């Protein structure tokens, strides 16, 4: 009897708990789900851009998901751009205020937001920006504004771009934990930090040329926005001519030095508001709720936009990792949907598993037989990221996109020296000569190294074939621009790795043109987990994002970044088509 009584109590307890969860769900849904009217935009309002979260190309959220905001680890670039487009024609929005410090976005994403703001200005509405400090990407974005304001004790960083690469050769020797590497490509320097203590000439050359191209693109747009000659901007950078607010104003980098309350007064003047009344500010995250409901869905015909973002891994994949499971399901869905007339693949990836890249490449080839496939490159579409893009009918890249890196390598961890120091000896027994393929506790032998090298060479040749076929070039032509070298979007267009410079909208318009569509809607893929699904998962333990925050808080952001680099290298399986270095541009 006691057993049955306890069992019944447990069942009733579970039912009661689930009941509470569902009641909470509907309460939150009613509070936060809302309707379009829940976001009130008064007349003479200013849309305020405070880009405080990391920016991803796509977060996959739904405007009707009441729990989405609770799991907002990033902002969707697609939603930000759409909000700016909607605000341009919104009679209640009189202008935009960029009130931001330290934008957490890649250079190409920042460029895309800047381009959207440039288009917003064609409506005749104003853009003002205020900052306590401007880092270089912040200032690059701010330079689109009609007027730039800075705090009297603020800082403006304008010195040119630089890149830092960490080297681990000595660390390996001191710890006895070694990374055995096999590569193809003189520029394929992802493995260089494990082989040397300093940068090779080839690597130094490609990084120097890459950041010079990116800087040139930035300077040209800043020059246009601030009406300063590019050569004068470089002089300002060389002399640190913006290092104080006074110097920044004298150099023409900013317009006025004011406190934030004075900035608000200037916004009131700009919207013809009465000075003793509150300024009508609409926050971007609130306005997105409104603008998401105004996405153009003209006509029954659709263009599918498939987002491929993150490192490429073998497996299902998720919102921050590209796996063949989730990605191929999305491509097949778009291919088989009769309403979808063209596909745009948005790629933001430094690469990863060569096998997964080829599996996705094949699915794109099959889709291309049915309908046009266009690629839009984001911050990075390199190595495996370029691999999956290579077969598209047409490729678009931002001028500041980092792409190319056509090369492969293999990385195998080895702890034999550490094991020997600790007194650990591993013995293997096998049935055949090569049945024990590789042991972490034994030095890599020549036979195993030659087998891996053979795999690397074979994968590299396959990579070249895929690119040559997709870009209508000879193998020799592709090899001359490959060898693992990375290129900016501008240089990639010059050598024929991409077709056009443009953003995601440009790629969508080209897809519509190729499909002969005058009216169309957008259908986004893949589907990520909803807020309620993630809530149910996290009830079982600490979420991955919470763990990340705890580690970052304990060891610091920079140390966490180094830890991620080392951990990523240790976890790499199979032959890799990956960016040649972890690029930290400052």
| Residues annotated as part of the active site | 188, 383
Sequence-distant (≥ 6) Cβ neighbours of residue 413 within 8 angstroms: 177, 178, 179, 180, 440, 569, 570
Structure tokens at 178: 């070694």
Residues 455 and 183: beta-carbon distance below 8 Å: no
Measure the CA–CA gap between 354 and 360, rounded to whole angstroms: 10
Sequence-distant (≥ 6) Cβ neighbours of residue 301 within 8 angstroms: 339, 341, 515, 517, 519, 520, 521
Three-state DSSP at 77 gives helix
Q: Which of 406, 408, 409, 410 is nearest to 475 (CA)?
A: 406
Angle formed by the axes of helices 107-121 and 77-88, to 10°?
Answer: 10
Q: Which of 347, 344, 343 is nearest to 378 (CA)?
A: 347
Other beta carbons within 10 Å of 448: 19
Structure tokens at 14: 């579970």
DSSP 6-51: HHHHHHHHHHHHHHHHHHHHHHHIIIII--GGGS---TTEEEEE--
Q: HSE (CB half, 13 Å, CA atoms) of 196?
A: 10
Taking CA atoms, 62 is separated from 38, 289, 323, 531, in Å, by: 16, 9, 22, 9
């Amino acid at each position: 009897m006691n057993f049955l009584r306890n069992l019944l109590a447990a069942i009733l307890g579970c039912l009661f708990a689930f009941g509470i969860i569902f009641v909470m769900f509907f309460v939150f849904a009613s509070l936060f789900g809302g309707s379009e009217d829940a976001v009130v935009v008064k007349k003479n309002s200013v849309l305020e851009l405070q880009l405080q979260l990391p920016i991803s190309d796509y977060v996959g959220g739904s405007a009707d998901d009441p729990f989405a905001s609770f799991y907002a680890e990033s902002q969707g670039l697609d939603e930000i751009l759409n909000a700016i487009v909607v605000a341009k024609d919104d009679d209640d929005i009189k202008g935009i205020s960029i009130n931001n410090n330290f934008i957490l976005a890649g250079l190409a994403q920042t460029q895309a937001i800047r381009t959207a703001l440039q288009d917003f200005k064609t409506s005749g509405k104003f853009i003002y920006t205020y900052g306590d400090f401007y880092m270089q990407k912040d200032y690059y974005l701010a330079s689109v504004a009609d007027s730039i304001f800075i705090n009297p004790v603020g800082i403006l960083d304008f010195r040119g771009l630089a890149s830092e690469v960490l080297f681990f050769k000595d660390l390996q020797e001191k710890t006895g934990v070694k990374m055995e590497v096999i590569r193809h490509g003189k520029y394929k320097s992802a493995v260089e930090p494990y082989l040397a203590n300093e940068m090779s000439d080839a690597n130094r050359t490609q990084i120097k040329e890459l950041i010079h191209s990116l800087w040139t693109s930035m300077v040209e747009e800043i020059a246009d926005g601030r009406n300063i000659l590019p050569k004068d901007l470089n002089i300002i950078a060389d002399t640190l001519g913006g290092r104080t607010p006074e110097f920044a104003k004298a150099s023409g980098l900013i317009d006025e030095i004011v406190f934030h309350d004075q900035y608000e007064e200037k916004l009131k003047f700009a919207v013809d508001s009465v000075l003793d009344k509150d300024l009508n500010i609409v926050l971007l995250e609130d306005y997105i709720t409104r603008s998401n409901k105004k996405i153009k869905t003209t006509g029954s015909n659709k263009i599918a936009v498939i987002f491929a973002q993150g490192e490429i891994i073998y497996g299902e994949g998720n919102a921050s990792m590209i796996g063949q499971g989730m990605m191929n399901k999305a491509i097949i869905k778009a291919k088989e949907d009769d309403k979808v007339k063209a596909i745009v693949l948005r790629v933001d990836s430094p690469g990863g598993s060569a096998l997964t890249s080829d599996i996705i490449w094949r699915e794109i080839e099959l889709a291309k037989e049915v309908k046009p496939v266009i690629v839009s490159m984001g911050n990075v579409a390199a190595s495996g990221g370029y691999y999956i893009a290579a077969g598209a009918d047409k490729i678009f890249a931002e001028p500041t996109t980092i792409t190319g890196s056509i090369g492969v390598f293999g990385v195998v961890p080895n702890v034999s020296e550490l094991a020997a120091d600790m007194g650990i000896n591993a013995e293997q027994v096998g049935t055949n000569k090569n049945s024990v393929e590789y042991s972490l506790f034994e030095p890599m032998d020549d036979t195993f190294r030659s087998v891996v090298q053979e795999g690397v060479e074979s994968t590299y040749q396959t990579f070249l074939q895929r690119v040559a076929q997709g870009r209508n070039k000879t193998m020799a032509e592709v090899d001359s621009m490959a060898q693992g070298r990375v290129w900016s979007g501008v240089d990639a267009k010059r050598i024929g790795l991409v077709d056009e410079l443009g953003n995601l909208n440009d790629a969508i318009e080209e897809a519509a043109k190729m499909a002969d569509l005058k009216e169309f809607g957008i259908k986004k893929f893949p589907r990520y987990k909803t807020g309620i699904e993630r809530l149910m998962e996290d009830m079982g333990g600490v979420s991955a994002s919470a763990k990340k925050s705890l580690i970052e808080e304990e060891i610091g952001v920079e140390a966490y970044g180094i830890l991620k680099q080392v951990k990523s290298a240790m976890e790499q399986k199979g032959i890799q088509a990956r960016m040649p270095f972890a690029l930290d541009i400052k």
